[in-house]
Structure 1
Amino acid sequence: MNLSVLPTKLVVAGIGTEIGKTVASAVLVEALQADYWKPIQSGALNDSDTDTVRRLVSNTTSYYHSEAYRLTQPLSPHAAAEIDGVTIELDKFNVPQTHNSLIIELAGGLMVPLNNHELTIDLVQRLGLPVVLVSRNYLGSINHTLLSVAVCQSRNIPLVGILFNGPTVPATETFILAYTGLPCIGRIGQEAQMTKELIKKYAAELLPALHQLVEPFQ
């Protein structure tokens, strides 16, 4: 099955902040030659996550869609929005129209507040798309990964699988996969500096698993 024939739309979620969602998104964008969309950018407006993915991706097919909200402060979306004098509203998020595959990168973890009464997971539920969960090994990551899986399952949000990023800890990864029953999409190693060449390498390694795992969601 060729994923370029049936466009694939995936949400990239992390078990917390600074997990490596942007690098993971770049790998997925390269693997699928997909478009990219970051609905909310908080801070770093002159060097955004969209800019980072664009720098790391080699293919010329991908298109980078504008954010729904561009917030000036590197804070939780609800706090950054309050400082900027705006209110984040779920009905303002519309999935970009494209005939290509699309990777959607969330801001922060699933339970991060968007406003005074809605969370990032409410946005995920509204989008109605399957989730790739990015996990990173650190003390407490098992707890954070299992909680992220559980909250998705409690809302019937489909999970494609887990993508591990950073240092490999076999005991941790083995337990997470066995306990959740989710497949491992792949692993992105700890690199001193992520380059286009490395993104292409990891994309090639992930592509066979993506072919198999994404098919049921198309």
Structure 2
Amino acid sequence: MNLQKERIFITGIGTGVGKTIVSACVTEALNAGYWKPVQAGLDEGTDTQTVASLISRPGVCQPEAYRLQMPASPHLAARSEAMTISQAHLLSHEALSYDGPLVIEGAGGLMVPLNDTLFTIDFIKALHARVIIVAQNYLGSINHSLLTAMALQQANIPVVGWIFNGDTHTNEADIVRWSHLAHIGRVSQASVPDKAFVQEQAAQLRPGLIKHLQA
């Protein structure tokens, strides 16, 4: 399979499970572009800035379609600025013309609303993207993981597989088995991730990514 124009959407089983670090590692592993369509919350820096600081080719990071001040659900952050996030605007964004595989990082999980009628899962389907699910172990993570997998499967959205983030846990094998989705790899825990960490993790992820993207 030619990965040149592949769109790979990174979603999480919830908020704060490590999507941005995983996105940086996948971007590095595939020599891909990176795009965060909607950034909600600017005071502590953006996910695009974080990824650019961690990868070897920061110029591949594409500009956001929406940069919103409030750190909240995108529909609420947009509403606070008297605007509405438009799927048409997202789908016509210059980032989608990137010449190469493109890693697209979502906000939170699948059912995060982008406006009053559009959820992240709807946007993924409109993108014709394949999905990598990022999971992390915590109390309730099995439920959140399997609900995420089920929603994607019921929507007939192709899933590349799982990337687990953080410390290894026995839950991983059960989640993979119950979901019938591939285990791509994992990103180790790092207190302060840097470029060297991302390059190391990317090298470990690359074989699994290529294998399952080409399956």
Match of 1:16 in 2: 14
- Cα distance in 2 for partners of 1:119, 1:45 equals 25
AA in 1 matched with 2:123: L
- Structure 1 vs Structure 2 CA RMSD: 1.5
AA in 2 matched with 1:68: A
Report the number of matched residues.
212
1:125 Cα deviation after fit: 1.0
Residue 153 of structure 1 aligns to a residue in which SS? helix
AA in 2 matched with 1:131: V
Match of 1:67 in 2: 64
1:135 Cα deviation after fit: 0.5
Match of 2:210 in 1: 211
Match of 1:109 in 2: 109
Identical-residue share of aligned pairs (%) = 43
Gaps of 5+ in 1: none
Match of 1:81 in 2: 78
Match of 1:54 in 2: 52
Q: Which stretch shifts more, 42-51 or 120-129?
A: 42-51
Correspondence list, 1:1-218, <5 A: 6-44=4-42, 47-59=45-57, 63-94=60-91, 96-170=96-170, 172-216=171-215
AA in 2 matched with 1:193: V
Residue 103 of structure 1 aligns to a residue in which SS? strand
Deviations 1:70-122 (A, max 9, x none): 11100000110110110112111125212221100001111011111221111
TM-score by length of 2: 0.94
Q: Is the 8 A contact 2:7 2:128 kept in 1?
A: no
Deviations 1:142-199 (A, max 9, x none): 00000000011111000000000012112x1011011011111111111111011110
Q: Is the 8 A contact 2:12 2:110 kept in 1?
A: yes
Q: Is the 8 A contact 1:8 1:214 kept in 2?
A: no
Gaps of 5+ in 2: none
- Cα distance in 2 for partners of 1:107, 1:197 equals 26
- Cα distance in 1 for partners of 2:2, 2:198 equals 20
- Cα distance in 1 for partners of 2:10, 2:132 equals 5
Residue 201 of structure 2 aligns to a residue in which SS? helix
TM-score by length of 1: 0.93
